[in-house]
């Protein structure tokens, strides 16, 4: 009943108007505020892209300096939060920890709850962008049993993150500029991707006027799934499971078998029916990182290259327009950078936070904004009378 359009998975429903990100999935084009992703990843830095996503234009030098300062002064988290971590088991998945700790920000920064005030919205945005890497690094350090490392504000966003993850108090940690640049690129490539599942979750949560930190925690929960942000972790696990290039045909056959739930992780995309432009940059970055670290024969990279070659020439994958997506190569790069697979989706969340906030801010500032309230096609029982329990 009800004259509603049935569109499971929202494959043909526009949920909002947005001026932030443009994707032409057939042509393999991704633009942020009109700028191609490859140009941003090649020449931009992450905070510059954050500014662009939030405010619509690339910053001038003065605007950039001011923005960097405003973000950087929020990199520390309330000291009480560090105790919050100890409530978790050490072997908890870091994404589970992220859901809890980021949601808990709403219990620490009460002033940011007044989302009707543009100044408080801005402060909440700065806090989230700045604190996500700190919380992510703390989740990692807690996981491996090392002490938390405080942020170093003279470093840029990506270098500071590597520092908080890999520095230890007993030794000097030197930032490798090639690796820091690769980290920066990974952050830029994942910064926003229009109305994907987690962004739509943030918008829906935010449409009720909920606390912005709680909305971002909702986005993190959605991102965790293997069909979304969890794909980078799943892709690397899959390469490990394949184990050797000789086993690739068996896994390709499984991916094509309709009776086997197995899918090639890191392949396919709801919107891109052409090569994901982010995957091209990620592939190049993976090679740069492996070259810098002197990893010549990485068995997983060999499997990835061969898998890509076979899949791109296979009739099934051609017909269904299944190309490698960004997560296919980001896993290999993150592994080479020294991150365990359980941290991969966490890094995606650090990067996507700005996209979530930019979309949340755009929604809150839209004069036509309404609470998100989808309807349904009811398929249950028709009206009937209550039967007392003794008579059932």
Select which of 45, 68, 276, 327 is catalytic: 327
- Is 327 known to be catalytic? yes
Nearer to ligand CMC, 73 or 320 (CB): 320
- Specify the stretch interacting with ligand CMC by CB under 6 A; choose among 52-60, 143-151, 200-208, 228-236: 228-236
Residue from 51, 84, 224, 267 touching ligand CMC (CB under 6 A): that is 267
Is 229 a binder of ligand CMC (CB under 6 A)? yes
Nearer to ligand CMC, 58 or 197 (CB): 197
Among the listed residues 351, 321, 282, the one whose alpha carbon sits nearest the alpha carbon of residue 38 = 282
x/- string (CB under 6 A) for ligand CMC, residues 245-264?
----------x-------xx
Q: Which residue is nearest to ligand CMC (CB)?
A: 268
x/- string (CB under 6 A) for ligand CMC, residues 288-327?
--------------------------------x-x--xxx
Min dist CB 376 to ligand CMC, Å, is 20
Nearer to ligand CMC, 123 or 216 (CB): 216
Subset of residues 192 to 211 that bind ligand CMC, contact rule: CB under 6 A:
196
Nearer to ligand CMC, 28 or 266 (CB): 266
Nearer to ligand CMC, 159 or 326 (CB): 326
Overall residue count recorded for the chain in this entry: 392
The number of residues that bind ligand CMC (CB under 6 A) is: 20
Nearer to ligand CMC, 30 or 105 (CB): 30
Min dist CB 301 to ligand CMC, Å, is 18
- Burial class of 295 by CB neighbour count within 10 A (0 to 12, 13 to 18, 19+): middle
**Distance from C-alpha of 260 to C-alpha of 145, rounded to nearest angstrom:** 39
Select which of 190, 228, 269, 276 is catalytic: 269
- C-alpha triplet 257, 262, 265: angle, nearest 5°: 125
Is 265 a binder of ligand CMC (CB under 6 A)? yes
Subset of residues 113 to 142 that bind ligand CMC, contact rule: CB under 6 A:
none
Q: What is the phi/psi pair of residue 23, to 5°? A: -125, 130
Residue from 269, 281, 332, 345 touching ligand CMC (CB under 6 A): that is 269
**Beta-sheet strand order (sheet of 35-36):** 21-24, 29-32, 35-36
Min dist CB 258 to ligand CMC, Å, is 7
Min dist CB 67 to ligand CMC, Å, is 27
Is 185 a binder of ligand CMC (CB under 6 A)? no
Min dist CB 187 to ligand CMC, Å, is 15
Min dist CB 303 to ligand CMC, Å, is 16
- Is 26 known to be catalytic? no
Min dist CB 171 to ligand CMC, Å, is 36
**Distance from C-alpha of 63 to C-alpha of 335, rounded to nearest angstrom:** 35
Q: Which residues bind ligand CMC (CB under 6 A)?
A: 9, 196, 227-229, 231, 255, 263-270, 320, 322, 325-327
Give the active site residues: 269, 327
């Amino acid at each position: 009943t009800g004259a509603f359009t049935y569109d499971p998975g929202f494959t043909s429903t526009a949920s909002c108007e947005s001026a932030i990100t443009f994707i032409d999935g057939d042509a393999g084009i991704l633009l942020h505020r009109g700028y191609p992703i490859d140009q941003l990843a090649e020449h931009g830095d992450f905070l510059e892209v954050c500014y662009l996503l939030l405010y619509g234009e690339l910053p001038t030098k003065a605007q950039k300096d001011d923005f960097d300062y405003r973000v950087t002064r929020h990199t520390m988290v309330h000291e009480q939060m560090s105790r919050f971590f100890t409530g978790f088991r050490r072997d908890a998945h870091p994404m589970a920890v992220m859901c809890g700790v980021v949601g808990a920000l709403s219990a620490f920064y009460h002033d940011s709850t007044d989302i009707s005030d543009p100044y408080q919205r801005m402060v909440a945005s700065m806090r989230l962008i700045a604190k996500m890497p700190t919380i992510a690094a703390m989740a990692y350090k807690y996981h491996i049993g090392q002490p938390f490392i405080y942020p170093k504000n003279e470093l840029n966003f990506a270098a500071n993150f590597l520092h908080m993850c890999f520095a230890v108090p007993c030794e000097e940690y030197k930032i490798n500029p090639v690796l820091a640049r690769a980290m920066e690129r990974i952050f830029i490539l994942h910064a926003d991707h229009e109305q994907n599942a987690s962004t739509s979750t943030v918008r829906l949560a935010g449409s009720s006027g909920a606390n912005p930190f709680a909305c971002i925690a909702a986005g993190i929960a959605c991102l965790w799934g293997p069909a979304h942000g969890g794909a980078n972790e799943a892709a690397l696990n899959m390469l490990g499971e394949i184990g050797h290039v000789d086993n690739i045909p068996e896994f390709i056959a499984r991916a094509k078998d309709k009776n086997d739930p197995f899918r090639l992780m890191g392949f396919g995309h709801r919107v891109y029916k052409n090569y994901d432009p982010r995957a091209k940059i990620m592939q190049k970055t993976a090679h740069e990182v492996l070259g810098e670290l002197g990893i010549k024969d990485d068995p997983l990279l060999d499997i990835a290259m061969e898998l890509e070659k076979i899949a791109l020439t296979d009739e099934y994958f051609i017909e269904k327009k299944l190309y490698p997506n960004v997560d296919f190569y980001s896993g290999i790069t993150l592994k080479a950078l020294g991150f365990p697979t359980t941290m991969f989706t966490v890094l995606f969340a650090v990067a996507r936070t700005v996209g979530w906030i930019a979309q949340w801010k755009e929604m809150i500032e839209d004069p036509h904004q309404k609470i998100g309230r989808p309807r349904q096609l009811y398929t249950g029982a028709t009206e009937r009378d209550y039967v007392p329990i003794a008579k059932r």
